[in-house]
Structure 1
Amino acid sequence: MGTDGSEVLTRTVAGEADTILREWLGLLRAGSSLQSGRIREAELETQAKSVLGLFADALRSGGTDAGTEAYGALRDTLGDISRSRAVQGFTPTDTANFVLSLKEPIFDALNRVSAGDAAQVAAGTWAVSRVVDVLGLHTMEVFLQSREEVIGRQGEEIAELSTPVVRLWDGIIALPLIGTLDSARTGVVMENLLQAIVDEEAEIAIIDITGVPTVDTLVAQHLLKAIAAARLMGADCIVSGIRPQIAQTMVHLGVELNVVSKATLADAFAVALRRTGRAVVRKPQATSNEAAR
């Protein structure tokens, strides 16, 4: 009858818990987590103690099947640690090593406890490798999912910051676009533009594409959507920032914006002023005698 690796591992972890924790903390301190300054030593020790304690409890009640309910509390704790490390900017390697580095001190403990029985050492080694690897994969899955969520939120924040609506004059607003327009960003552009039209009671909305590197049929369609939405809100649109290269590209593609366009934002602003019955004039310079009065 073969040796029960689960039983050997459970007995070893329970009997050598203090030594395993001390050696594990030594490996964690020597790693790059503390050197990066992203986590304090006290916090690292608290995490290690909690994980090892839950690991020992799970072994006693659930064996080495890390997918059972007995490991639920441990998986939740590792998930919380992974999410916090994703926010703190840890690397995937640092996060994975937090769990995988537990193998070495347990291997050493198995050799001490079962030094005279090669079968027990082998069975225990196989058992710890199987369960810790599963926990390591769970940790990485949560970490990567959390990183994707962080990157997604940052992308949304950047999109909002890169599409500010500027009030140029009473009833005149400008939306300077920077970067490439895609479907997701067009939604942000429309939302910001329409809200600004309502807030400012704008009659004219200038969409400046000076910062848009290229305009193709897809970008033109997104612009047309924004213009159509603004018109439905009662605001006329003017597109500015049409550079020669973009103009040539649009002609070759057969793109028709069907809206007034100007080369610069200043030209578009001048048109907007005329449409709203305003004009900017230079104030006459005072003569030397008038200035002396």
Structure 2
Amino acid sequence: MTNLIDIPTARPVTPLGILTKKLEAVVKQANQHQDLSAELVAEITQAWELAAGIDPYLEECTTPESEALAALAKITAKESWGEHFTVGATVRPLEQEMLSGHIEGQTLKMFVHMTKARRVLEIGMFTGYSALAMAEALPEDGVLVACEVDPYAAEVAQQAFNESPHGGKIRVELGAALATLEKLATAGETFDLVFIDADKKEYTAYLEILLDTNLLAPQGFICVDNTLLQGEVYLPPAKRSANGQAIADFNRVVALDTRVEQVLLPLRDGLTIIRRV
């Protein structure tokens, strides 16, 4: 398993992680105020303990990641991502927090097993953690097509794929996601499971092309990442970033679309599962 001592601590980017960090600060302040009652300090401390204990307990109770995934997580965490930028319509720095991680990776891997998917499409690969996790669950003749806009991230991912016995199932498509989806649709490709984790402002466009073409198999499922977007989607609009507003708008579109049914799970930064009705 990954040696967490050697990995830089990632900043909190999930609603739970942010809440835990804020509660930790409140506990420290509370303990410095002698005028607060012991009962109040104890209540605040318990609230922090309840929040802080969830993620470690989930890690403990979930099947460990493979050695290949642990190595990839370690490489991703050690990389100086601030020196690299995505290419495309919007240039922005890459960051280690883009990696899906152990719990979400194992969840996606389980979905592949549960749905018996043979063909998977990933929109937004980064360094390939979730792609490799899902590929580990695919049958030997299974195929995962991973779309990635950034060539450096794709290079890191491909190196990891080359070292895994499951990496041969993965085909990387480098370029803007919407253009890649159009190409795949024109080529008549179809997928049993689709994982969306790319440009948040294009989520609705990704969904539309999946539903309007044959890219999504009739009984296929779509999994969409970051649909809680650090809690911004349920905070007042004035407190939302551009991405937070984009995801809030996407969630509303999905909720009103009579062609699908969906469930939003509070997994990591939010994971929505969608299927055609």
TM-score range, shorter chain: under 0.3
TM-score between the two structures when normalised by the length of structure 2: 0.25
Q: Greater helix percent: which structure? A: 1
TM-score between the two structures when normalised by the length of structure 1: 0.24
Larger radius of gyration: 1
